[in-house]
Structure 1
Amino acid sequence: MAEKLRIDKYLWSIRLFKTRSLATDACRAGRVKKDGTNIKASYEVKVGEIFQVSKSVEKKIIKVVELLTTRVDAKKAILAYQDLTPPEETAKYKSMFHSPLLLRDRGTGRPTKKDRREIDDLSDRFFNVEEED
């Protein structure tokens, strides 16, 4: 087990990023934080530290459990960190992939004005959930 490990190599080894260069780019772009401050790719990770990692729309909070120097399979990678992401944040991310399919029966023709308004109201309510808060 390693005593010193760079954050970019750690994030790559636990499979949060597909390549090490993507992990380095995320650090440079300020998408990897510790206690709310951006950290460099060369930051040395220690067991017990907590990091906030943003990947596109997904945000994760992870706690380092074990240092891995090489990329391992997914089953072992999960054991190297503890996911502290709140369940509602995870559910919000997953719900983005379960949008309603607005399908019409084949051969019914173009929607009427009333149909169009109902479709628009449905899609506005579904996709603008954040504005209701």
Structure 2
Amino acid sequence: QAAAACRAGHVRVNGERVKPAHSVKAGDEIRLRHAGRERIVVVSRTVRKRVGAPVAVECYVDNSPPPPPREFTVPVALRDRGTGRPTKRERRDLDRLHGH
């Protein structure tokens, strides 16, 4: 997933787009778009080999803005399971509700 995000241009190190094999060093600021939010991470130290999550958390500082409150997220219309596709009338009602 990380390599795909780099190729798509969603990852920037110190303001520049990077390729998946780009090396980072202590002090680098990494900005990425993931799941509709922007994450901002500053590398505090690097490790040479793979480590577990508790050790990895100590290697960066997360300066990301807090996620938006749940009350401001757009509610998703859910249909009951097994009801099939909406009818033409239901579709028009949904479009009118969404402002289309």
TM range (shorter): 0.5 to 0.7
The 3 A distance-change label for structure 1 pair 72 and 58 is farther
Does 1:34 pair with 2:9? no
**Which of 78, 81, 86 is the equivalent residue of 2:57?**
78
Q: CA offsets, 1:66-114, max 9 Å, x none?
A: 212333222211101001113xxx231x637x888xxxxxxxxxxxxxx
Distance 1:80 1:35 in 2: 17
Q: TM-score w.r.t. structure 1 length?
A: 0.48
* Alignment of structure 1 residues 83-98 onto 2, 5 Å: 83-86=62-65, 90-92=66-68, 95=70
The structure where helix makes up a greater share of residues is 1
Q: Compute the displacement of 1:25 (Å).
A: 1.0
Q: TM-score w.r.t. structure 2 length?
A: 0.61
- Secondary structure class of the residue paired with 2:31: strand
| Aligned Cα root-mean-square deviation (Å) | 2.8
Higher RCO (Cα < 8 Å, 6 or more apart): 1
Q: Give the unaligned 5+ runs of structure 2.
A: 76-96
How many percent of aligned residue pairs carry the same amino acid? Answer: 29
The 3 A distance-change label for structure 1 pair 95 and 71 is farther
